[in-house]
Amino acid sequence: MEGGSENKSHKMRGELLKRVQSKLDKGQSNNSISKQEGIREGTIRYAIQTGRLKKKQPKARATFNRSRHYV
């Protein structure tokens, strides 16, 4: 398989890993980051699942319970 760049897996290391983490910290989506960085969205998902990246946690929202009190 010569020039198999289309099926080449991408390893996230060094500066790329830092750039992607910075973008995740700012709340960017995996999809938008993958397009900007030229990598597959699945590569970002895999790095999150394996603990190499951390996805920004959404802010907790107030919920309304049945007794009409905000929790």
The pLDDT of residue 65 is above 90:
no
What pLDDT shows up at residue 64? Answer: 64
User: Could you give the CA distance from residue 8 to residue 39 in angstroms, rounded to a whole number?
Assistant: 10
Give 54's contacts (C-beta < 8 A, 6+ positions apart).
21, 24, 48
What pLDDT shows up at residue 26? Answer: 96
pLDDT digits (tens, 9 = 90+) for 10-23: 678 899 999 999 99
What pLDDT shows up at residue 57? Answer: 75
pLDDT digits (tens, 9 = 90+) for 31-49: 999 999 999 999 999 999 9
Indicate the domain borders of the chain.
Answer: 13-71
